[in-house]
Amino acid sequence: MKSQFYHTSDARDAPLRIVALGDELSRAGRSADSPAVPDCLAGLFRNEGLAVEIENLSRPHATADDGGRQLRELAGAVDLAVVNFGLHESITSHQTAERRYHPVQLGRWLWRTVCKSPRDVAPSGSDEAPVNGSPIDVFRRSIRQIIEELRQRNPAVSIVLWAPYRPCDSADLRQLSLAASLTEYEITLEAVAGQAGCYFLATDVLVSEVGLTNTADGESRERELRSRIADEIFYLAGDAAYWNRRSA
């Protein structure tokens, strides 16, 4: 999506600073010609003649709780932040649900219930709930803290929260369960974005349109998906980030 606004920039403008926080979905693909979403996004701004500085602080297997540590690696303020968490929280919730409803776990819970054991608890992967709240509560709080810290550095920063991918092949019950867990975190991200005045990008429609699968051409399809995600982020927040930078 091209914008007429970017053609008004000149060499005297300070570069637009972009930071990416997240997990491996924000990293590059397996091949050298498969750039990451932040790199695709930076390319869109550069195509409009705008200088860009980008820091991709995302790490494989990261969760929202790691977002604060990623931000500590960042010096100064940024104009645009793209934040992607929820994949590994979803996987953990999915695995916990599988353990929770495993016949052995159900049998133990039933035994405790019938025998009125002091350890009478709902079936779960562990016998105690997290001290700081449910996994969703911890996730929500971590995302809010990331937003607050970004705005402490720059109150006018444009922030885009984008949801993790959902599996396309829903024929397998495990993938159906994981998709349900991903949906829960996607809904949470959207709610936090709405409350905090951030941009939100759902990726499920893009995944479906691209037809992301684990087939031989999966890498090329994922490359297309990353490009599509960058296009959508540019469309959502490009103008705001640009004008905020020029008015700074």
Q: Is pLDDT at 178 greater than 70 in this prediction?
A: no
Q: List Cα–Cα distances, 106 to 117, 119, 168, in angstroms.
A: 15, 14, 30
Give the whole-angstrom CA distance, residue 77 versus residue 74: 8
What is the reported pTM?
Answer: 0.77
> Per mean pLDDT, which of 14-28, 88-102, 139-153, 204-218 is the most reliable?
139-153
Nearest to 61 by CA among 97, 13, 22, 17: 22
Which tops the pLDDT comparison, 38 or 124? 38
Q: Which of 92-106, 133-147, 234-248 has the lowest mean pLDDT?
A: 92-106
* Average pLDDT score over residue span 239-244: 82
In percent, the amount of the chain with pLDDT more than 90 equals: 42
> So where are the chain's domains?
4-91+137-247
pLDDT of the residue at 118: 44
What CATH number matches the domain at 4-91+137-247, 3.40.640.10, 3.40.47.10, 3.40.50.1110, 3.40.1120.10? 3.40.50.1110
Q: Which amino acid is at 124?
A: S
For the sheet with 16-22, list strands across it.
52-56, 16-22, 80-84, 158-162, 199-201
* Average pLDDT score over residue span 81-90: 91
> Per mean pLDDT, which of 4-8, 116-120, 131-135, 236-240 is the most reliable?
236-240
